[in-house]
Amino acid sequence: MRLVAQEELSGDVCAAIEPGFPLADIYDSGPSVLVYGPDAAACEAAAQRLYDALLAQRAAFSGRLYSGPTSFAPGDMLPTPPDTDSYFLVTLTPDGNKILVLRKTYTSASQTTLASQAIDVYSTSPLITKIGSIPLTTDASFCNSNSDDCFYGNQYLLPTQDGKAVFWIGNQNLQVFNIP
């Protein structure tokens, strides 16, 4: 991720390389480059440099899986949500120190009417413990009965490389939050 840091230091851009799920058998689930900033041309140029560098490393991927810096205790897991809640998305920050969970809370256990949403933040050390919550007031995806683009894969929680912020991306909205 040296290249991301170099891009961010050399210009007015914020960048990330998201690994996706490279071992999947679906072409579109591989790595992605995300760059944003006030100058579209600078963002495009930075994204192209990162993309080219990523592709140059393709042959070096051996398929070997590496464990992260944090090892979880046997049996340590996220708490089971109440009947009115659902864990919709779960992701780990790049340093392995925090788990981010998009939690949907419904008005009843039938989970038909959404009451609220939040991104819950859990520490992974020494045991998985909730340390904060980010209330969400605007949805990242807008769905209705006439919409055919509302499914699990249309929302993403993408933490920044330094683990200080998270992008919540949907079919209609992009939001950025600081991680507690």
Would you kindly state where each structural domain of the chain is located, as residue ranges?
Answer: 2-60, 85-178
Q: Using an 8 Å Cβ cutoff, are 178 and 164 in contact? A: yes
Q: What are the structure tokens assigned to 53, written together?
A: 């560098």
pLDDT-wise least confident of 11-25, 58-72, 110-124, 163-177: 58-72
Confidence of residue 74 (pLDDT cuts 50, 70, 90): low
Closest CA to 123 of 179, 166, 165: 179
> What is the structure's pLDDT at 69?
45
Checking if the pLDDT of 152 tops 60, the result is no
State the pLDDT confidence band at 66, using cuts at 50, 70 and 90: very low
Comparing 70 with 63, the larger pLDDT belongs to 63
Span of 47-51, 72-76, 91-95 with lowest mean pLDDT: 72-76
